[in-house]
Amino acid sequence: MTHGPVYKLLTEADWAAAAVSGVTATALDLADGYVHLSSAAQVEETARRYYAGMMRVRLLRFDPAALGDVRWEPSRGGDLFPHLYGPLEIAKANAAWWLTPGPDGAPQFPEDV
């Protein structure tokens, strides 16, 4: 199943930890047993719901074919979301951005996402 690139959002603290270890390890991902990712169509809503009000949020883009065991599974609203069963190595990101809040407090996205 090909859905295009997948995205990972990280708080500044999660990004700092990933920069040291080379892999992401958010509390939610560890609790659920897989890495939560979003498609291009889903990532802005994910950012709005879970990262609003944060001064900076790290956004990473990946080619799912380069990640390993990515499964598209039902989640929010029954939509299929990409979940990675295995470590998410930040070195495999093919683009990265710092997002800052817009007027409504939600992270603002660049046009090329």
DSSP character string of 29-77: HHHHTSEE-EETTTHHHHHHHHHTT-S-EEEEEE-GGGTS-EEEEE-GG
**68 is a domain residue:** yes
pTM check: above 0.85: yes
Residue 77 has a pLDDT of: 86
Total domains in the chain come to: 1
56: domain range? 6-99
- Position 12 in a domain: yes
pLDDT band at 112 (very low <50, low <70, confident <90, very high): confident
As a whole number, the mean pLDDT across the chain is: 95
pLDDT tens by residue, 44-82: 999 999 999 999 999 999 999 999 999 999 998 889 999
